[in-house]
Amino acid sequence: MSTNQSIIVSTNSYILPFCKRSSTEHSPRHSLTYYRMGTLRAILKNPDDLFPLMKLKLAARHAEKQIPPEPHWGFCYSMLHKVSRSFALVIQQLPVELRDAVCIFYLVLRALDTVEDDTSIPTDVKVPILISFHQHVYDREWHFSCGTKEYKVLMDQFHHVSTAFLELGKHYQQAIEDITMRMGAGMAKFICKEVETTNDYDEYCHYVAGLVGLGLSKLFHASGKEDLASDSLSNSMGLFLQKTNIIRDYLEDINEVPKCRMFWPREIWSKYVNKLEDLKYKENSVKAVQCLNDMVTNSLSHVEDCLTYMYNLRDPAIFRFCAIPQVMAIGTLAMCYDNIEVFRGVVKMRRGLTAKVIDRTRTMADVYGAFFDFSCMLKSKVNNNDPNATKTLKRLEVILKTCRDSGTLNKRKSYVIRSEPNYSPVLIVVIFILLAVILAYLSGNRS
């Protein structure tokens, strides 16, 4: 399960709490300076982002203080903040019992993913570990040194995760064990197999993300908060998010050392280039964008199922937990579509827009509105000369019709399709000063 995460410092990965993490890092001083300058520029351009960003920052600081006193639980929640600040923030909304189960589910799959992602582990060593990983969660002594930085700490001190796992209710343990076993077996299968066809692509995404959807549905049901969702709907929730991550992370994966990771199916990319890595070269820019659009169109096939899954949720906290990543995914696809920058660097939504999504995604009306707005944005980028334009437009029309038919589009704020606000220079200066004071205050608290 090649994976990636974070939210406030990097909005890249508020897509799926169990999907693609970025290997791109900066020194702490450089990261902080880059973050501040980028935030200042974005807020000067979009002043209405300020308050959602402030709310998000305060919520994150509050979440960081909610660390349990027990050593093993303290390790688990501290590690959660280190590997995914976004997930650590949203999980705080869940009831305590379900929150603990989801936290451990996340860390177990993150550890499994760390084994799969470490390209330095020989195949004959990696495959048996993946296949038997579900058994290790019952062993308080087991650990395996791999990964880097915080992921290495997770693997070296995995006994804390096992100890916490053994304190969960049996129904939670069984759900986590079952999904971990199936995921490990699927990962092992694709260690020795390339993603050739679109069926292979769906199968790989099922193992690394669709099963996450099934597992979460089981945990929600075990908590008594939700009915058990169908496997097909749960699977689509995971596939939509994972495919978005795979599309966005093309360059990171293809440049992975010591061995590149190739998740785009040959059935799609071979229509445009001879080798998958050829897409990153400037001389292939036209073909690369056409291939990218083909991949985005493929991922849109899961949206209807995702909307149905979310519509059926009853618990408000679980709804937000599921809905925010889905909105981020459709937003990311809208940014990526027809965008050559996917092959040059990282394409992501600005932090302020991410903060708005998190702040405003509370009801199904908000979800329909966001999917409508981002689908309109994507539709406006479709070039009729694109080989897949007809298929893309057809899938977008289905999504737009579903959103219109909900009858809720006039019941929420549109934060995507809007005219540019006309802010006075005085207001811009006031906001700049206010932001500078806030950043100085937060910096003082850190030191």
DSSP 312-333: T---HHHHHHHHHHHHHHHHHH
Q: How far apart are CA 408 and CA 419, in angstroms?
A: 21
pLDDT of residue 64: 64
Res. 279: pLDDT tops 60: yes
Least confident stretch, 68-77, 161-170, 347-356: 347-356
Res. 395: pLDDT tops 80: yes
Instruction: Give pLDDT tens digits for 82-133.
Output: 888 777 777 877 888 999 999 999 999 999 999 998 988 999 999 999 999 9
Under the phi-then-psi rule, with left for phi > 0, alpha for psi from -120 to 50, and beta for the rest, what region is 407?
left
The residue that leads in pLDDT, 445 or 187, is 187
Q: Are 7 and 89 in contact (CB under 8 A)?
A: yes
DSSP letter at 138 equals T
Provide the terminal-to-terminal Cα distance of the chain, rounded to the nearest Å.
37
Instruction: Give pLDDT tens digits for 177-190.
Output: 999 999 999 999 99
The residue that leads in pLDDT, 40 or 239, is 239
- Whole-number percent of the chain with pLDDT over 70: 77
Res. 249: pLDDT tops 90: yes
Q: How far apart are CA 360 and CA 10, in angstroms?
A: 19
Mean pLDDT for all residues in the chain: 85
Q: How far apart are CA 25 and CA 234, in angstroms?
A: 33
Q: Could you give the residue ranges of the DSSP H alpha helices within 48-157?
A: 50-64, 71-83, 85-91, 96-117, 123-136, 149-156
Split at pLDDT 50, 70, 90, the class of 261 is confident
Q: Cis check for the bond before 258: say yes or no (omega within 30 of 0).
A: yes
Average pLDDT over residues 406-412: 83
Least confident stretch, 25-34, 57-66, 230-239, 318-327: 25-34
Instruction: Give pLDDT tens digits for 29-59.
Output: 444 454 455 556 666 666 676 666 776 677 6
pLDDT of residue 427: 59
Structure tokens given for 143: 């650990």
pLDDT of residue 27: 42
pLDDT of residue 29: 43
pLDDT of residue 32: 45
Average pLDDT over residues 229-254: 96
Number of Cβ atoms within 10 Å of the Cβ of 383? 12
Average pLDDT over residues 378-403: 97
Q: How buried is residue 192: exposed, middle or buried, by Cβ count under 10 Å (0-12/13-18/19+)?
A: exposed
Res. 241: pLDDT tops 90: yes
pLDDT of residue 65: 67
Encoded amino acid at 39, one letter: T
Res. 403: pLDDT tops 50: yes
Instruction: Give pLDDT tens digits for 344-380.
Output: 988 888 777 788 888 889 999 999 999 999 999 999 9
Res. 66: pLDDT tops 60: yes
Split at pLDDT 50, 70, 90, the class of 15 is very low
**For residue 274, what are the CA distances in angstroms to 138, 267, 277, 283, 405?**
46, 11, 9, 13, 43
Average pLDDT over residues 304-314: 98
Q: Which residues are known catalytic residues?
A: 204, 248, 261, 321
pLDDT of residue 415: 57
Number of Cβ atoms within 10 Å of the Cβ of 141? 8
Average pLDDT over residues 305-315: 98
Least confident stretch, 44-53, 413-422, 428-437: 413-422
E strands present in 152-238: none
pLDDT of residue 62: 65
Average pLDDT over residues 161-182: 97
Q: How far apart are CA 301 and CA 239, in angstroms?
A: 10
The residue that leads in pLDDT, 402 or 34, is 402
Res. 201: pLDDT tops 60: yes
Least confident stretch, 144-158, 172-186, 385-399, 430-444: 430-444
The dihedral through the CA atoms of 324, 354, 337, 196 has a sign that is negative
The dihedral through the CA atoms of 176, 179, 185, 189 has a sign that is negative
pLDDT of residue 423: 53
